[in-house]
Amino acid sequence: MIGRALKSLILHSASLILLLGAWEAVCRAGMVSPHLLPAPSAIFLRLLVQLADPAFLIHLGQTVLRIAVGLALATAIGVGVGLAASRNRLIGRLLEPLVRVLAPIPKIALYPALILMLGFDHASKIALIVADAVFPILLATYHGARMVEPKLIWSARAAGASERQCTFTIVLPAALPSIYTGLRIALLIACVVVFLAEMISSSDGLGHLLIRAARSFRTLDMFVPLLAVSLLGLALNGLATLAGRRLLRGFAL
């Protein structure tokens, strides 16, 4: 049992270890200057040092806060609108062209406008996360809800549930596996977008740390926020897996 888990872990991290190993080797061999590309071990050590620094933790916290609030809003809007569009033909018809036109827009291009409207602080960055993360959730909810086996709804209707009650007691839970997939995509998008927004204009957050380090040519400190956001994504992803395992217990996945 333990042997198998270990084997799976090694197999899982093999590609990563290989990449980091090669990177480390290149740096150690002196093939690149540490001022251009620091060794991964150096970045890890620097991150560990930074994690003990309250100032760094505050920056990290700001980023996490924006991701959390942005994702929560995107989920509420995406699931709500997706569900409404899938259950009501008129709403679906009205929204479809809107989604088709808005979804392909690179939302980061809206960021300057968002700053003008919402200021430099949290609001503009959260709005950007919502704008980017809402679409995968909305589309996943819509398609998941449309794919619900009609006989589930019929069974509930015969048992006395109204169409409206079916939306919440049958369609929503039946669409959860699909919604969950959308949410995981949205999670990754949120990590990328918040970082970009903080790089473009911010006085805090991981993205801001990277820009600040770059402006004073502190290469090592440039890589630390990158590593941090990568690990943050990994942790959030792990959290999502745990939540999914509980939430989707009855589904054959």
Q: Which residues bind another protein (CB under 8 A)?
A: 149-152, 154-161, 165, 169-170, 173-174, 176, 248-252
- Which residue lies nearer to another protein by CB, 8 or 165? 165
- Which residue lies nearer to another protein by CB, 33 or 155? 155
- Alpha carbon distance 86, 145 (integer Å): 6
- Alpha carbon distance 184, 71 (integer Å): 10
* Minimal distance, residue 124 CB to another protein, in Å: 38
* Minimal distance, residue 157 CB to another protein, in Å: 4
Q: Is 174:149 a contact under the CB 8 Å cutoff?
A: yes
* Minimal distance, residue 84 CB to another protein, in Å: 21
The pair of three-digit structure tokens given for residue 164, joined into one six-digit string: 């409206």
Q: Which residues contact 129 (CB under 8 A, 6 or more apart)?
A: 66, 67, 70, 71, 74, 189, 190, 193, 194, 197
- Which residue lies nearer to another protein by CB, 121 or 149? 149
* Minimal distance, residue 185 CB to another protein, in Å: 21
The pair of three-digit structure tokens given for residue 149, joined into one six-digit string: 């086996």
- Which residue lies nearer to another protein by CB, 105 or 243? 243
- Which residue lies nearer to another protein by CB, 174 or 229? 174
- Alpha carbon distance 132, 104 (integer Å): 10
The pair of three-digit structure tokens given for residue 84, joined into one six-digit string: 């409404």
Number of Cβ atoms within 10 Å of the Cβ of 246: 7
* Minimal distance, residue 112 CB to another protein, in Å: 43
* Minimal distance, residue 172 CB to another protein, in Å: 10
- Which residue lies nearer to another protein by CB, 46 or 157? 157
Q: Which residues contact 50 (CB under 8 A, 6 or more apart)?
A: 56, 224, 228
